[in-house]
Amino acid sequence: MQFNGWVGKVLKMNLSDGSVTKEPLDEELALGFIGGRGAGSKILWDETGPETDPLGPDNPLIINTGPVTGTLVPTSSRFTITSKSPFTGILGDANAGGFFAPEVKYAGYDSIIVKGVSEKPVYIWIDDEHVEVRDAKHLWGKTTHETEKILKDELSDADVRVLSIGQAGENLVKLAGVVTGDNIAARCGLGAVMGSKKLKAIAVRGTKSIGIANSDHLNEIVDTIYEDYKKSEAYEWYRYFGWTTGVLGMCKAGCAPVKNYMKSGGTDLEKRKAILDIESSKEYKFKDISCYGCPLACNKYIYIDSLGRNKAPVPGSSHMAVWEIYDYPFHVEVNRICEEYGMDIYSVQLTISAAMEWYERAIITKKDTDGMEIRFGDKEVAIALLHKIAKREGFGDILAEGGIRAGVIVGADPDTTATCGYGKGMDHGPIDCTSMAGLTLSLSVSTRGSGHLRSVAPIDWGVQESLPLKWQEFYKERGAEDLIGKPWVAHPVHAEVATYFEHICTSSDILEICKNTTEFYYFFAYKGREKKDDLEWHADYLRAVTGIDIDRKGLETITSRVLNIEKAYNVREGMLREHDMPSSRFLQKRKGGPLDGKALDPDELNRLFDHYYKIHGWDEETSIPKRATLEKLSLEYVADELEKQYSISKSKSN
């Protein structure tokens, strides 16, 4: 590869026959999709199809790093795992930070692709050029943290980086994730894919270098950014409170759900204030921890007498309020259990809260639940359920299929599991988007089921009370200045905002940069933003690190290409416009809280979705990407395949 940044090698393994091949990185793929999520989605499009069984040998587990991973670029420590999701059956990807991705690059690989199924449990040991599939009998049945410790002892190097699954992944729990250190790539049930391959862990050590095209330019960029951070208010928040700083704003805006969304968000503000991270960090926090190369250090170590040292819990707005439990140490404990078993805490929460509702409505009784009374607010039962789900014991075996499938098995009203996922089968985490048009749109259209990390604007979930000047003007230009404070009105401007943030999220994902430093999160009020927006910064990083000639426009074309191939993947799996639409419970009327009595107007919402598809050049009726759109992005092969499946004539799309 003539460019820097990428290290230029792909490691391909097949666990069925134990073969290991090292191939040069496809330059066309790298320049067309950059890396990370983009390259992963492209490979998935090529290698899988509607006939692929997510838990079968043909489903590849693609671990991708980005060109700036492991370089000095701030927060460039992430990797994306892509695979066909066993949870949703469509495109599945999840990403995590930590130290794993840079180590993979230092070992000399841009991506690792694992196919096939091993007969017995194995782990992969990568030591630069040396790649070995080793027996993992002694690791099977261990938690992720135990696995990591055993491997570090076994390889006698404390700096080896490990990616592993816990019992949840081994037992093919559909809510399983993949864990490295204190970070989890949780979404889409990709831990189960790894479990189906009998792949317990991947351990990496790397001693090679990553080339930098223009180190002076990189130094300059980093200096500017660090200076800007130091001046910004957002940086101070991160330093002191971690990444949950905006949660108070969310709670106030009514985005934080209560009791499986049976009560409206924002009705429990008083109870929440006491357990907010802003309060608890004063009491428990004692040290900041960061991922590789990150100046923010939003991760915190906390000390709680009964639990010892722990990582501060992740789940932003939830606080376990969907179970009607308000207790910070309990929150920490749940987070730790999920991390040790390797489970997605968001999906698990919503699945258990649905079960609690079934019990309350007497859809299930003690007979179904192994004698447990699954009531809202019961801490012991909630913890017991977590263990049962991870081990697939008794009632946990049903819940381990995820909320929607479990609902079908027990014969519950689909409305009770509406929060566990829409048509595409994925929940968007505990966020109450009822009667908030912009938020509903941006959560719904995500290409990995619904999701909060794909296009949500901070404006929409109310993490900040006052809008930065740029956004005030943006709204004004479109005649929507009176929209601020009226989230229930579905105005076309929401689609534009969602698209803007969609590009930012996609570009972060393909470069493998953390979204915390982008406008997507609380950094949206950050001063450096006035000089350049995120895509410009990202193009700058790419120029400095890789030496490719790219500007904001070029990067935007690439992010559009990634979005379109992902959308096309889902369309090929049969996911059309109706699957994007939010489910019943999100259309209900609010009772109490800040948006009391408000509900979304379905017609208005439909028009908003129309507008969103129009901006993207997708068919408004079906949401299928039009041929003209795909051709503009040099995705003719995608258009051909979709055309074969849906027989859309050229004339119609034009």
Partner 1 sequence: MSYRKIYYTSPEACTGCRVCEQVCSLHHEKSEINPKRSRIRIIDMQERGVMIPMVCRLCSPAPCVSECPVDALCQDEKTGLIIVDEEKCIGCDSCTEACDFGAIKVHPVRKKAIVCDHCEGNPECVKRCMPEALVFMKPEEYTVFRGRTTLKKDTSAIWPEHVKNANKKE
The least CB distance from residue 304 to partner 1, in Å, is 10
The least CB distance from residue 490 to partner 1, in Å, is 41
Q: ∠ at Cα 31 (25, 32), nearest 5°?
A: 110
Answer whether 327's CB lies under 8 Å from 319's CB: no
CB-count exposure of residue 128 (10 Å: 0-12, 13-18, 19+): middle
Window 186 to 205, contacts with partner 1 (CB under 8 A):
none
Nearer to partner 1, 545 or 565 (CB): 545
Describe the strand order of the beta sheet including 161-164 as a list of residue ranges.
130-135, 122-127, 199-205, 161-164, 178-180, 183-185
Residue 2 lies near partner 1 (rule: CB under 8 A): no
Nearer to partner 1, 5 or 487 (CB): 5
Quick note: the x/- pattern for partner 1 over 144-183, rule CB under 8 A, is --------------xx------------------------
Residues facing residue 81 across a β-bridge: 63, 94
Nearer to partner 1, 46 or 153 (CB): 153
The least CB distance from residue 159 to partner 1, in Å, is 7
Residue 106 lies near partner 1 (rule: CB under 8 A): yes
Nearer to partner 1, 289 or 576 (CB): 289
Answer whether 327's CB lies under 8 Å from 379's CB: yes
Among 33, 45, 109, 229, which residue sits at the site for partner 1 (rule: CB under 8 A)? 229
Nearer to partner 1, 105 or 187 (CB): 105
Nearer to partner 1, 155 or 576 (CB): 155
Size of the site for partner 1 (CB under 8 A): 40
Backbone angles phi and psi of 254, in degrees to 5: 90, 20
- Long-range CB pairs of 7-11, under 8 A, 24+ apart, other chains included: 7/105, 7/108, 7/109, 7/110, 7/208, 7/210, 7/211, 8/110, 9/108, 9/109, 9/110, 10/109, 10/110, 10/111, 10/112, 10/113, 11/109, 11/111, 11/112, 11/113, 11/126, 11/131
Among 13, 210, 443, 600, which residue sits at the site for partner 1 (rule: CB under 8 A)? 210
Window 278 to 317, contacts with partner 1 (CB under 8 A):
284-295, 297, 301, 303, 305, 309
The least CB distance from residue 295 to partner 1, in Å, is 4
Buried-exposed string 133-168: b where 16+ CB fall within 10 A, e elsewhere: bbebeebbebbbbebbebbbeebeeeebbbbbbbbb
Nearer to partner 1, 309 or 476 (CB): 309
Residues facing residue 251 across a β-bridge: none
Window 234 to 263, contacts with partner 1 (CB under 8 A):
239
Residue 71 lies near partner 1 (rule: CB under 8 A): yes
Nearer to partner 1, 285 or 632 (CB): 285
Which residues fall within 8 angstroms of residue 346, CB to CB, at 6 or more apart?
Answer: 186, 187, 315, 318, 427, 429, 430
Answer whether 424's CB lies under 8 Å from 406's CB: no
The least CB distance from residue 207 to partner 1, in Å, is 5
Which residues fall within 8 angstroms of residue 602, CB to CB, at 6 or more apart?
Answer: 587
Among 19, 21, 219, 365, which residue sits at the site for partner 1 (rule: CB under 8 A)? 219
Answer whether 472's CB lies under 8 Å from 525's CB: no
The least CB distance from residue 244 to partner 1, in Å, is 17
The least CB distance from residue 230 to partner 1, in Å, is 8
Nearer to partner 1, 4 or 83 (CB): 4
State how far the alpha carbon of 385 is from the alpha carbons of 307, 332, 570, in Å: 20, 16, 32
Nearer to partner 1, 170 or 277 (CB): 277
The least CB distance from residue 239 to partner 1, in Å, is 8
First-residue to last-residue Cα distance in the chain: 39
The least CB distance from residue 420 to partner 1, in Å, is 35
CA distance 71 to 61: 25
CA 165 to chain centre: 17
The least CB distance from residue 68 to partner 1, in Å, is 11
Nearer to partner 1, 208 or 476 (CB): 208
CA distance 264 to 255: 9
Among 126, 175, 179, 212, which residue sits at the site for partner 1 (rule: CB under 8 A)? 212
Residue 209 lies near partner 1 (rule: CB under 8 A): yes
CA 324 to chain centre: 25
Residue 502 in tokens: 């969609």
Nearer to partner 1, 71 or 88 (CB): 71
Residue 213 lies near partner 1 (rule: CB under 8 A): yes
Residue 514 lies near partner 1 (rule: CB under 8 A): no
Residue 227 lies near partner 1 (rule: CB under 8 A): no
Contact residues for partner 1, defined by CB under 8 A:
4, 70-72, 106, 158-159, 206-213, 215, 218-219, 222, 226, 229-230, 239, 284-295, 297, 301, 303, 305, 309
